[in-house]
Amino acid sequence: MKLDLLRKVYLLVSFIILSLVFYAISSRSDLLPTSFASSLFFWSAIALLIPNKFFKMVWNNVKRTKAYWIPFSIYLFFHVTLYGIFYNLILGGFNFFPYFGYGVGASIPTPPYLFVYWVSLSPAFFSFIGPYESDVTPYSLFLGLLLSTLIGANVQQIIELRKLIKERKRSLITITAVPSLGVISGTSCCLSLPSIIIYVAAVSTGTFSSVVPILASPIFFTFSYFGLPIASLALLLFNLRDINNVIRRLKMSTLNGRMANLKGN
C-alpha cells in the first residue's frame, strides 16, 4: 500500500515537473507539440489525484451494458463537439450558412500565474459548423470523460434499481424520480449554463454590469466556466452514491428475506 502511494506521488511530481518544463520551453520551441506535452502531463497528474474509490464506484461496481455505453457515448460526443455550438445558439441566435471547417491550434504561453489556465485551454481542436465554433480543449475533454463516465454509471444503476424495485413490487416512480432528476441536472450542466448567460448579459449591458460588476468580471467567468461544471460532477457523484446505497439495501433485504424463507421451510 505504501509502495503504491509512493509510486503515485513520484509519478505526480514527475508529471508536474515535466509539464512545467514543456511550458517553459514552449515559447522557444514549436508551440503545438510542447503545448500538447505540457497539457498531457498536467492532466495526467490531475488524474492521479482522483481517489481509487471514484473508479471503483463508477467502473468496478457497475455493469457496463448498453444502458451504460449509450448515455456515455452520446454525452461525450455532445460535450466535446457540440457543447460550444450549443451555447452559441442560445446566446447568439440562429444564423446558419453552409460552411464546415476544422483545425488544431495552441495558445501563446501565458505568465506563470496563469499556467493552469493555459494548460486547460491549449492546445485545442476547433471546428466550425456555419458561423458556430466549437473547441475541444484539454479541460473540456478531461471533464467530459469524467461526466460521461458518471452519467453512464448513473443510468445503469437507475435501471438496476428499477429491476430490483419491480421484483419487490414497489412503486417505481417515487423511489427513482430523485435519482433520475440528478442525472438530468448533471447532463445539462445546469449549474453553469445560467451563469454564463448572466455573464454575457452583464458584459453586453453597461447598466447591468455597473449595478452588479462582479457578474461582468473575469473572476465570475472563471468560476462559471471551471467551477460550476465541477459542481455538476459532484452532483452526479453524490447521486450515484445514493443510488448505490439504495441498491445495496434492497439486495440485502432480498437476501435476508430469502434466508428467512429457507429457515422457515
Tens-digit pLDDT profile for residues 129-186? 777 777 888 998 898 899 888 888 888 887 887 777 776 655 544 454 445 444 444 4
- pLDDT at 148 (0 to 100): 86
CA angle 78, 82, 86 (to 5 degrees): 115
Tell me the three cell numbers of residue 99: 460552411
- pLDDT at 264 (0 to 100): 57
124 SS3 class: strand
Tens-digit pLDDT profile for residues 73-127? 888 887 777 666 665 555 555 666 677 888 898 999 989 999 998 999 899 988 8
Q: Output the CA–CA distances (angstroms, integers) from residue 186 to 21, 100, 118, 183, 199, in the order listed.
A: 36, 30, 26, 5, 21
Please, which pLDDT band fits residue 252 given cuts at 50, 70 and 90? confident
Average pLDDT value for the chain = 75
- State residue 101 phi and psi, 5-degree precision: -150, 160
CA dihedral sign of residues 111, 112, 113, 118: positive
From 95, 120, 94, select the one nearest 106 (Cα to Cα). Answer: 120
pTM for this entry: 0.75
The residue with cell 500538447 is: 36
